[in-house]
Amino acid sequence: MKKVYCDVSKCLGCRSCEIACAVEHSKSKTLFLAIKEEPLPINRRKVQAVDEIIISNACHHCEEAPCISACMSGAMYKAPDGSTQHDEEKCVGCWMCIMVCPFAAISRQTKLALKCDLCKDRTEGPVCVISCPTKSLVIKEVQK
Amino acid sequence: MNNEKSADSSVKETLCVACDRNISTVFDRFEAMQPECGFGQLGVCCRNCVMGPCRIGPFGEGAKEGICGANADTIAARNLVRMIAGGAAAHSDHGRDVAHTLLATSEGKTEGYAIKGKEKLFDLAKELNIKTENRKIEEIAHDVAEKCFAEFGQQYGELQFTKRAPKKRQEIWRKNKLTPRGIDREVVEIMHRTHIGVDNDYENLIQQGMRASLSDGWGGSMIATDLQDILFGSPTPVRSVSNLGVLKEDEVNIIVHGHEPTLSDVIVTASQDKELLELAKSYGAKGINLAGICCTANEILMRRGIPIAGNFLQQELAIITGAVEVFITDVQCVMPSLGKIAGCFHTKVVSTSPKAKFPGVEHIEFSEEEALPIAKKIVRLAIENYKNRKKELVNIPKEKMELIAGFTSEYVFKMLGGKYRATYRPLNDAIISGRLRGAVGIVGCNNPKVKHDWAHIELTKELIKNDVLVVTTGCSAIASAKAGLLLPEAAKKYAGKGLQEICEAVGCPPVLHMGSCVDISRILTTLCNVITEGGLGEDISDLPVAAAAPEWMSEKAVSIGFYAVVSGIYTVLGLPLPVMGGKNLTEYLTNDIENTVGGKFAFEPDPLKAAKLIIEHLNKKRELLKLKPMMYTK
Amino acid sequence: MNYVIIGASAAGISAIESIRETDKNGKITIVSDEDYPIYSRCLLSYYLAGTISEEKLKYRDDDFYKKNNVNAILGKKVELVLPDKKVKLSDSTIVPFDKLLIATGSRSKTEKIPGVQLEGVLGLRNIEDAKKIEVRLDKTKTAVMLGGGLIGLRAAYALHKRGVKVTVVVKSKHVLSQILDEEGASFIQKEMEKQGIKILTGLSATEIVGNKDVNGVVLENGEKIDCEIVVIGKGVQANTELVKGTDIKTERGIIVDDELKTTVSDIYSAGDVAQTSDLITGEKTINALWPNAVIQGKIAGLNMAGKNIKYDGSLAMNSVEFFGLPTISYGITKPKGEGYEFIVKKKYKKFVLKNNKIVGFVLVGDIDNAGVYGSLLRKKIDISSVKNKLLENNFNFAKILPLIKEHKDKFFEKEYDEVFAEQINAVKR
């Protein structure tokens, strides 16, 4: 499985990844239209900091994903490639996944949980990686 | 949680009240903004044209140049000099307003002003070659005002007040094309040069930035200071009080915040009107209590002894005490959050300048022509609002500290020599003999990136401990005031032996409050007088002096920092200029620039380390002047 | 290997998946007394509220058993576990096993008051219950919930959404008294009352009245509430009857060790019926929650298939949202005894600490960081260095990075390693 890693020594907190993520998960997929949508698209990747460290944080697609065990509707599941995916149709917004995610990587919309899906519908791959100006975000094969 | 935010305990108290009532303040908004964008902090984000916006990655990844081809030094330099333009424009526009007020007053067109500083008027007239014999005061004032006004639109030549500087300094400026030609012209040229595809050489850009900063320090700011002295009187030492505890539970509280005494001085007059006092008493108030915030506070403190409620980061907190009837604002450093916060209380925020309006705030436009009636109207508004104060929402912190302010370049003569032998000699001698190591101006704003007031106070204490005389203005002065450093007693507590002796002999505090931010021009004039008195070199860069802005935040501070450096003064900033992404530019500003102008920048956030840098610098200058070794502290 | 699993809900299904992950060829038989497609009973109140259709109740696809090569015996109950590795079904069929997983779950507790057998007095435990309630809705104006726990409130919310006038009768001082403190519960209570749900606290029902069909409830203060449906949400009790007469030790449930083994070899138990160690207190307890059942089923399955995975214990944790106000309670929220410290933020966050470690918390409104707090609780981290940051609005995952660095041994999951990018730097060079 390939997933997105953040090199904290290179993250400058510009939040380009947040904007790119939100636009990619909007209906229109362009910035100027996305900002007018209702509901506004939500970025699944969040830039956070402590002291001197800045990190761009999103779903880590854990090998032992607590959200999958906690999900009471079966909406959270492991895709064949090993990534943790979320079936929005099945989600009832119970927030059990949020209750157990150790990275607080799941966001809430009204009655719908949202998280990084590795831009699975995008052939060129995750849009946050492409948008990062310092190449702090990279897509790499998971080490076994 | 709140302990870390300020060295002033009144802040912690009031923040607790804010927290309880879910009122967000500058401190909360600061936390919510973290982390801040590193590109912006490094100065390598350019938005000057719509081919961009461009960013240059500092790690060697990604774009190495903007789309037009500008490199990091160019981008950072362009951004920096635009900051100088913004800051210089603010100070100079303030000066312009004062010149307008003086002009209109001399023509009898205003209500509420007088020409109080007659001595200064004559001095200035002499300096500007204006005839004074057998002329009415109003006529002299008229000509002085007109000549000052003319400086703004001047296209060629040299700004008048640059001639106050030592000859050597003037030569340095002339040689390097730094002498400002006209106040507005220098700011306009910055805007032109920073347009895409004009000036792309960082040294050249900085040169224009330096010239524009001089048009502020030796131009707009100096005009503001001197004409304000003419209108409102030259300050003399005055006692007063500072901090939120100056607000009174049983009086009508009025706060005035902003920068122009053309507003605040008239408010003082209005607040002392007998009829209005009677009106207040009829509403059950014991009186009308006026207090200021930021520079306008310093102006009415210096001249009329009005108490100071707080500095920049405390403006919202003043409202949160629940005890303010009217909060009057004019221009600069006024937070747009005030309207929303006042909405949680009975407080009315009133804007007065056509240049400065805010959402959710009542606007009562101020004009010099009807100054006093408008001021009275605003005071009446406050009195009428007194009954709406909700006792249960009142939380006035008890913190209150006495202070002495009112020191000017003119007063130093009198202070040191007495009325009949006004002279700077004792000051120069003190430095030459080693009683005083030198003098440092600690100025500038607050910034939530630094624990509020902490860096100002620590730096001040460390320097006076080492026999350095500290002069201070602006929000820094207010910080020192609240910490009790503006009292003669502070010399015994904190000052080194040499400085203590001076303070005892003269009867002054170890830290001298010289006024508002435009009054930094007083410091420049003082330095010129020191040189003239003799024995300490021939140029400002020879003097054992330095400047520091430990908690700066505004563009005005960038302009001030530059005019200090370009006047030959070593300037230490508590936060770096946003240029670190441009490595050559940073090197230039912190090193090479000294070869041209005799001054340079240093960036040091730790106040004790900053003190060390400054003391080393003062010692170096003392050595070069071959002064006696320090008497007491090494 | 012949695996037999009793019960086809969270634990049972989870066990099937983890067995198949390890043992592709063993025989798996599952026995369930329900004949519905695999569904999540947690979703029943959403179904009752009309938020989701019956189709959406499904927890796994219809071909789950086929895909996993499972022999499913549905609609039959296991009556007894017999010695010599056999179980007996309700129709007397005998099913032998090599490894057995008892995941029979629990059933609603009933109130022992007169009238509880009348038509229209129901629990909300399974699809049948939900359908029975649904069928009565047409002729229901008012409903009474007995019990202020999650079942009672969820049912109340669901019926309110269907236009029924609802009254909740709560024995304790406030709703959700098992999992929330008074202040935390007050937000939910106030909001529900604001929306028109009546909540009576400190009262019990003494009798349910009616003439075959229920038509009212009588409270201990003599007041009678007219109603056409009564939903009983007074908790659950473990379905342990089938192990009577065996050596399988039971208390409130089937006692299991840290590998989910019962006291009889080759017999495991997981889910609501199993009594495991509590992660915080160490005592043997049942935290009857869906995520606990899923994880227990998974570990039991792996161990049945030959592994030796340790289960570190269950926790009480609940997430609920009513009228747009999300609430999470986690761990010990109402500690008894000495030595606990509380840190509270208005509206509303509350942390229960012991020796500077989080042992429980309640969040109302802003629940986004629950999982981060939860990880600090589970890993028993000393949080002194971030104590004053926990309540701040800007608290987020990054704020515990220094703790992760400091306690690398406790944050051992590989995803934590990846955060510090040493690997990336290594690969790049």
Task: Give tens-digit pLDDT for B141-160.
Answer: 999 999 999 999 999 999 99
Average pLDDT of chain A, as a whole number: 92
Q: Measured between beta carbons, which residues in chain B are less than 8 angstroms from residue C392?
A: 1, 31
Those residues with Cβ within 8 angstroms of residue C186's Cβ, 6 or more apart along the chain or in another chain: C174
pLDDT at C376 over 50: yes
pLDDT recorded at residue C425? 44
**If residue B222 lies in a helix (H) or strand (E), which one and from where to where?**
helix B221-232
Instruction: Kindly list the partner chains of chain A, i.e. chains with 3 or more CB atom pairs below 8 Å.
Output: B, C
Q: Measured between beta carbons, which residues in chain A are less than 8 angstroms from residue B37?
A: 12-15
Q: Which residue stretches of B507-542 are H helix?
A: 520-533
Smallest Cβ–Cβ distance between A135 and the set B37, B55, B61 belongs to B61
Residue keyed to tokens 């792996």: C302
Q: Which band of pLDDT confidence, cut at 50, 70 and 90, is reported for residue B485?
A: very high
In 3D space, the residue among C336, C334, C330, C338 whose CA is nearest the CA of residue C314 turns out to be C330
pLDDT recorded at residue C424? 46
Q: Is A13 on the interface with B (CB under 8 A)?
A: yes
Instruction: State the amino acid at position C275 in one-letter form.
Output: Q
pLDDT recorded at residue C423? 43
pTM strictly above 0.90 = no
Q: Which band of pLDDT confidence, cut at 50, 70 and 90, is reported for residue B209?
A: very high
Mutual orientation of helices B72-106 and B183-193 as an angle, nearest 10°?
160
Interchain contact, A14 vs B37, CB within 8 Å? yes
- Give yes or no for a contact between B50 and B56, defined as CB atoms under 8 angstroms apart: no
Q: What's the rounded Cα separation, in Å, for the pair C348 and C367?
A: 10
pLDDT recorded at residue A110? 87
pLDDT recorded at residue B422? 74
Q: Which band of pLDDT confidence, cut at 50, 70 and 90, is reported for residue B256?
A: very high
Q: What's the rounded Cα separation, in Å, for the pair B446 and B442?
A: 12
In 3D space, the residue among B267, B322, B314 whose CA is nearest the CA of residue B294 turns out to be B314
Q: Is A54 on the interface with B (CB under 8 A)?
A: yes
ipTM associated with this complex: 0.95
Mean pLDDT of A65-84: 94
Model pLDDT for residues B294-353, shown as the tens digit of each residue: 999 999 999 999 999 999 999 999 999 999 999 999 999 999 999 999 999 999 999 999
Burial class (CB in 10 A: 0-12, 13-18, 19+), C109: middle
How far is C315 from chain A, CA to nearest CA, in Å? 11
Contacts A–C by Cβ distance under 8 A: 138
Q: Which band of pLDDT confidence, cut at 50, 70 and 90, is reported for residue C419?
A: confident
Mutual orientation of helices B137-153 and B118-127 as an angle, nearest 10°?
50
Q: What's the rounded Cα separation, in Å, for the pair A15 and A36?
A: 19
Interchain contact, B31 vs C346, CB within 8 Å? no
pLDDT at B417 over 70: no
Q: Measured between beta carbons, which residues in chain B are less than 8 angstroms from residue C346?
A: 20
Q: What's the rounded Cα separation, in Å, for the pair B590 and B587?
A: 5
Q: Measured between beta carbons, which residues in chain C are less than 8 angstroms from residue B31?
A: 392-394
How far is C119 from chain A, CA to nearest CA, in Å? 30
As a residue count, chain C comes to 429
Closest alpha carbon within chain A to C42: A72
Those residues with Cβ within 8 angstroms of residue A123's Cβ, 6 or more apart along the chain or in another chain: none
CA dihedral B124, B130, B135, B139 (to 10 degrees): -80
Residue keyed to tokens 């005799």: B598
pLDDT recorded at residue C110? 82
In C233-292, the residues whose Cβ lies within 8 Å of chain B are none
pLDDT recorded at residue B3? 62
Instruction: State the amino acid at position C150 in one-letter form.
Output: L
pLDDT at C429 over 80: no
How far is A14 from chain C, CA to nearest CA, in Å? 16
Interchain contact, B28 vs C388, CB within 8 Å? no
Q: Is A14 on the interface with B (CB under 8 A)?
A: yes
How far is C58 from chain A, CA to nearest CA, in Å? 7
Q: Measured between beta carbons, which residues in chain C are less than 8 angstroms from residue A140?
A: 424, 427
Interchain contact, C421 vs A6, CB within 8 Å? yes
Which residues of B sit within 8 Å Cβ distance of A? 34-39, 55, 57-59, 61-63
Contacts B–C by Cβ distance under 8 A: 11
In a mutagenesis test of the B interface, which of A14, A19, A48 is the best target, namely the one with the most B β-carbons within 10 Å? Answer: A14
Interchain contact, A74 vs C58, CB within 8 Å? yes
Q: Measured between beta carbons, which residues in chain C are less than 8 angstroms from residue B1?
A: 388, 391-392
How far is B25 from chain C, CA to nearest CA, in Å? 13
Q: Measured between beta carbons, which residues in chain B are less than 8 angstroms from residue A48?
A: 35
pLDDT recorded at residue B419? 62
Contacts A–B by Cβ distance under 8 A: 36
**If residue B224 lies in a helix (H) or strand (E), which one and from where to where?**
helix B221-232
Interchain contact, C43 vs A66, CB within 8 Å? no
Q: Is A134 on the interface with B (CB under 8 A)?
A: yes
Which has more pLDDT, B489 or C393? B489
What DSSP letter does each residue of B373-397 carry, written as one string?
Answer: HHHHHHHHHHHHHGGG--GGG----
pLDDT recorded at residue B1? 47
Interchain contact, A73 vs C369, CB within 8 Å? no
How far is A48 from chain B, CA to nearest CA, in Å? 6
Instruction: Kindly list the partner chains of chain C, i.e. chains with 3 or more CB atom pairs below 8 Å.
Output: A, B
pLDDT at C414 over 80: yes
pLDDT at C426 over 90: no
pLDDT at B74 over 80: yes
Q: Furthest-apart CA pair in chain C: how many Å?
A: 82
Three-state DSSP at B343 gives: coil
- Give yes or no for a contact between C318 and C38, defined as CB atoms under 8 angstroms apart: no
Three-state DSSP at B572 gives: strand
3-state secondary structure chain A: CEEEEECCCCCCCCCHHHHHHHHHCCCCCCHHHHCCCCCCCCCCCEEEEECCEEEEECCCCCCCCHHHHHCCCCCEEECCCCCEEECCCCCCCCCHHHHHCCCCCCEEECCEEECCCCCCCCCCCCHHHHHCCCCCEEEEECCC
pLDDT recorded at residue B187? 98
Q: Which band of pLDDT confidence, cut at 50, 70 and 90, is reported for residue C428?
A: very low
Instruction: State the amino acid at position B280 in one-letter form.
Output: A
Average pLDDT of chain C, as a whole number: 92
Q: Is A12 on the interface with B (CB under 8 A)?
A: yes
Interchain contact, A100 vs C414, CB within 8 Å? no
- Give yes or no for a contact between C235 and C109, defined as CB atoms under 8 angstroms apart: yes
pLDDT recorded at residue B57? 80
Model pLDDT for residues B37-57, shown as the tens digit of each residue: 889 999 999 999 999 999 998
What DSSP letter does each residue of C338-368 carry, written as one string?
Answer: SSEEEEEETTTEEEEEETTEEEEEEEES--T
Give residue B530's region: left, alpha or beta (phi > 0; psi -120 to 50): alpha
Q: Which band of pLDDT confidence, cut at 50, 70 and 90, is reported for residue B2?
A: low
In A15-34, the residues whose Cβ lies within 8 Å of chain B are 15
Q: Measured between beta carbons, which residues in chain C are less than 8 angstroms from residue B18?
A: none
Three-state DSSP at B482 gives: helix
Q: Measured between beta carbons, which residues in chain C are less than 8 angstroms from residue B20?
A: 346
Interchain contact, C394 vs B31, CB within 8 Å? yes
